[in-house]
Structure 1
Amino acid sequence: MSAVAGTAPEATRTGALAIESLTVGYGGAPVLHDVSFGLRPGEIVALLGANGAGKTTLLRTLAGLVPAASGSIRLDGEDLALLRTEQRARRGVALVPDGRSVVAELTVDENLRLGALWRHRGVARERAVAGIYDMFEPLARRRQADGHQLSGGERQMLALGRALIAEPTVLALDEPSLGLAPLVVAQLMGTLRAAAESRGLTVLLAEQNVTSALSIADRGVVLDLGRVVADAAASDLATDSALRHAYLGF
């Protein structure tokens, strides 16, 4: 059977991501300068750095919301530069932006079905929705609640569930722990780790909560003023006090 139009063949969707010499700016002012690093399939990489380091810009460029001035982003060997945002999503790229973006006027169930719209039909969609409820039990109890009625933690679960239901190979998250209670943060981080292990999901996690991010990450990449200043195993970054004091503020 041929692949669905607009999607890569399943055999090629491994989630290997290579960012090479990426330069991005707004109005002629560079924000990212010659950024290069890669992610292996199933790997969690914590993208770290102070406010203004370029983390959000990098994630938005990956998703196709911001154009690159030069360089490339390759997913399974394919350069994403010429693909629109929706085409990148069909190739397996999912972005969960900061602000816990859900459709406030829709119920939890409707939000999830919206996320599953192009990936699943019929019985497969019902199974996919049920799988998200198994993953996030609080959402199952609130399935008929509107998005604006949810707590901050529930909204973040819904945003993550809506991304996962489309079965991405690469998941990019921008500050998912922002404003959440420590217990909720721990639950979300545990879910991300489990998804990476069970689904082979490649995760790029931009976080100010360095300790939480490094606790589940395989590697960490540190940005400072749009440049990569460190790329190392998460355990090494967690114990490098000089680097933490210089670039991560603790």
Structure 2
Amino acid sequence: MSTLTIDRLTVGHGDGAPVLDGLSLEVPDGALVALLGANGAGKTTLLRALVGLLPARAGRVLLDGADLSALSTEDRVRRGLALVPEGRSVVVELTVAENLRLGALRQAGRPRRGPAVDAAVAEMYELFEPLARRRDAAGHTLSGGERQMLALARALVSRPDVLLLDEPSLGLAPLVVARLLGVLRDQAEATGLTVLLAEQNVTSALSVAERGVVLSLGEVVADRPAAELAADPALRHAYLGF
């Protein structure tokens, strides 16, 4: 898998003040890092900039030392980045099976067909048993939890090197959140997948992450082992609201 390096990244919206101003961060190969902070801290802006959905005013995004900054979103995905945005984005007109096969069309820039796709989809059904039961159901008939499982499974089936997730637990029941985050932890441990997880559910995120990075007003104010962050009451109260 791959190390994601963010080097002095500056990003804003239009001509306004930057949301991120010279932000630097490294997500090591195979690590699961929780990206934490209040609304407006810059978490979503950072994830969107990493995949090229927002242009950077300055700075670089590197994957294993290769500079992706000049690449389009499509090319960054081909290089191994995958984003699961907030909002459980699935193609609601397609079935669960069709959504998964759509995600399996490309692996590290190489087209995937036939048995390779079948095996990748079958693996997702093992990871997310509710999706196996509803493989022929259209996306619009799924519950919120099932849609989020499908969004995550569709990203995983493409075999990304780095998985970026934006608030995957938003609006979900605790048991569903536990299932989703457990799959992320297991995938990182079993496959070496590199994960950057933006979450407001701080307790859940730190329970599965190795490290926690806290953003405030577009700057990194803490970067520590997850257990150490969770045990620091001053930091929690100042930036994380608990």
TM-score (normalizing by structure 1): 0.94
Confirm or deny that 1:100 pairs with 2:88. yes
What is aligned with 2:113?
A: 121
SS at match of 1:27: coil
1:37 Cα offset (Å):
1.2
What is aligned with 1:235?
A: 227
1:27 to 3, 9, 14: 14
2:62 to 63, 74, 90: 74
| Cα distance in structure 2, aligned partners of 1:18 and 1:114 | 28
How big is each residue's C-alpha offset from its partner over 1:197-220, in whole Å with a ceiling of 9 and x where there is no partner? 111000000000000000000101
Amino acid at match of 1:18: T
Amino acid at match of 1:208: Q
Amino acid at match of 1:205: L
| Cα distance in structure 2, aligned partners of 1:21 and 1:241 | 29
Amino acid at match of 1:34: G
What are structure 2's unaligned runs of at least 5 residues? none
1:58 Cα offset (Å):
0.2
Amino acid at match of 2:148: Q
Alignment of 1:196-215 (within 5 A): 196-215=188-207
| Cα distance in structure 2, aligned partners of 1:189 and 1:20 | 28
| Cα distance in structure 1, aligned partners of 2:36 and 2:219 | 11
What is aligned with 1:6?
A: none
2:241 to 231, 238, 249: 249
What is aligned with 1:164?
A: 156
SS at match of 1:69: strand
1:91 to 79, 85, 103: 79
| Cα distance in structure 2, aligned partners of 1:217 and 1:184 | 17
| Cα distance in structure 1, aligned partners of 2:49 and 2:78 | 16
| Cα distance in structure 1, aligned partners of 2:56 and 2:231 | 34
What is aligned with 1:53?
A: 41
- The two structures, once aligned, show a CA RMSD in angstroms of 0.7
Confirm or deny that 1:112 pairs with 2:104. no
TM-score (normalizing by structure 2): 0.97
Alignment of 1:133-172 (within 5 A): 133-172=125-164
- Give 4+ residue runs of structure 1 displaced > 6 Å after superposition: none
| Cα distance in structure 1, aligned partners of 2:116 and 2:220 | 42
SS at match of 2:236: helix
Alignment of 1:214-229 (within 5 A): 214-229=206-221
What is aligned with 2:30?
A: 42
| Cα distance in structure 1, aligned partners of 2:51 and 2:140 | 26
| Cα distance in structure 2, aligned partners of 1:212 and 1:139 | 23
How big is each residue's C-alpha offset from its partner over 1:104-149, in whole Å with a ceiling of 9 and x where there is no partner? 0000000001101123211111111101101100000000000010
How big is each residue's C-alpha offset from its partner over 1:225-250, in whole Å with a ceiling of 9 and x where there is no partner? 11111011101100010001001111
